[in-house]
Structure 1
Amino acid sequence: MPTSWTSFETNSTDEWWDVVDAEGSPTGRTYRRGAANWPSGFFHLIVAVCIQREDGAVLLTQRAATKESPFGWEFPGGSALSGETSRQAAIRELGEETGVEISPSALTLIDRFAEAAALLDFYTAHAPANTELRLQQSEVMAAEWVSLEEVGRRLCAGLMADPWSARLDALWPLARQALRIVR
């Protein structure tokens, strides 16, 4: 039975994450989002998807006003829930936030980026033909299909959500290369 870290805080959600080691392997322990005392030296898994249309544009979403880093632009994604694989979380998050549905085989892992308490798996995928967006208003206030150059412009202009600066410094060159190859 997994060991759970709990807290007496009443403002946390009922979202549970697997606690993973530096390689992303589950430790058998879980953690409730928002609880105190994140275990030092461990991580939770987060995912993001850079989805590209046939014309080369990629989808950016703008964080809702009620979220951390409000109004910042980012790629659709979020935390893997307890028991989910990285690919399952990426498909779920993309679908929840944008309404875009893809298969696990449509995802190409670009790389993993380590943060203080999270490991980000960054994927690319092709948008299905005639993709229509249905935004999850509690998470996403807007979405735009933009050029690869526009992603870089928004990064330089400080318009990306706070965590995306370091993430894109490390991952964007690899993502751009992968997006050019598959087009």
Structure 2
Amino acid sequence: MDDELWDLTDAAGAPIGRTHRRGDPAFPEGLFHIVASVCVVRGDGLVLLTRRAQGKDWGLTWEFPAGSALTGETSEQAAVRELHEETGVQVRAADLRLVGRLTERTALFDFYVAHVAGDPVLALDPDEVCESFWAPLAEAMRRGTAGEMAGPWTRRLAHFGDRLAELVTAPRG
């Protein structure tokens, strides 16, 4: 993915007409790219956790499926694409409910919840994900506190925890 291009945005998420190539040094100070993640909730209320492939940053730690928006993609489009690429789970942008946005060092991190019917069949991308686990949200929160989630998730879960719990347990509709 060294040819992956991201739109650069201002602090409000508005594209500024420039791109940044993933992996290039010196990410421009004061600018951001969009990263989107989805907490999938299946019919019985369990949420999907994925374990990052060994060769990735934060390898063998847990997370909710996530990734950077590519040039020209909205946050929602990136969330839908990344979820499908990593897990095989297909949702529509209309299925996403925004938990919130968190400003990180070089990223505006958008977190969504998507409820899916039943127990979806997973097709994990081995370059991205080595394992998956359907768990109660409380288990994901515990893993965040225990340091079992990828490093950035500790802050993310602390920030989004209450709103995430609301949306995970809220009826679809």
TMscore range, shorter length: over 0.9
Aligned length: 172
Q: Rate the CA distance shift 1:159–1:130 in 2: closer, same or farther, 3 A.
A: closer
Within the candidate set 16, 20, 31, 1:42 is matched to 31
User: Helix, strand or coil for the counterpart of 1:113?
Assistant: strand
Structure 1 position 157, deviation (Å)? 1.5
1:51 and 1:167 map into 2 onto residues whose CA distance is 16
User: Helix, strand or coil for the counterpart of 2:139?
Assistant: helix
Q: Structure 1 residue 65 and structure 2 residue 65: aligned?
A: no
Q: Which residue of 2 aligns with 1:5?
A: none
2:22 and 2:158 map into 1 onto residues whose CA distance is 27
User: Helix, strand or coil for the counterpart of 2:48?
Assistant: strand
1:87 and 1:182 map into 2 onto residues whose CA distance is 21
**If you compute each CA radius of gyration, which structure gives the higher value, 1 or 2?**
1
Q: Which residue of 1 aligns with 2:78?
A: 89
One-letter amino acid matched to 1:126: H
Q: Structure 1 residue 77 and structure 2 residue 69: aligned?
A: no
Matches within 5 A, 1:1-183: 13-182=2-171
Structure 1 position 104, deviation (Å)? 1.0
Structure 1 position 156, deviation (Å)? 1.9
Q: Rate the CA distance shift 1:56–1:45 in 2: closer, same or farther, 3 A.
A: same
One-letter amino acid matched to 2:50: T
Question: What TM-score, normalized by structure 1, do the two folds share?
Answer: 0.91
Question: What TM-score, normalized by structure 2, do the two folds share?
Answer: 0.96
User: Helix, strand or coil for the counterpart of 2:170?
Assistant: helix
Structure 1 position 119, deviation (Å)? 0.6
User: Helix, strand or coil for the counterpart of 2:142?
Assistant: helix
User: Helix, strand or coil for the counterpart of 1:24?
Assistant: coil
Structure 1 position 36, deviation (Å)? 1.4
Runs of 4+ deviating beyond 4 Å: none
Query: Considering only aligned residues, what root-mean-square deviation do their CA atoms show, in Å?
Result: 1.1
2:156 and 2:40 map into 1 onto residues whose CA distance is 16
1:26 and 1:172 map into 2 onto residues whose CA distance is 28
One-letter amino acid matched to 2:90: E
Structure 1 position 130, deviation (Å)? 4.2
Contact preservation (8 Å) 1:102, 1:128: no
1:96 and 1:133 map into 2 onto residues whose CA distance is 11
Which structure 2 segments of 5+ residues have no match? none
Contact preservation (8 Å) 2:44, 2:118: no
One-letter amino acid matched to 1:119: L
Structure 1 position 51, deviation (Å)? 0.5
User: Helix, strand or coil for the counterpart of 2:39?
Assistant: strand
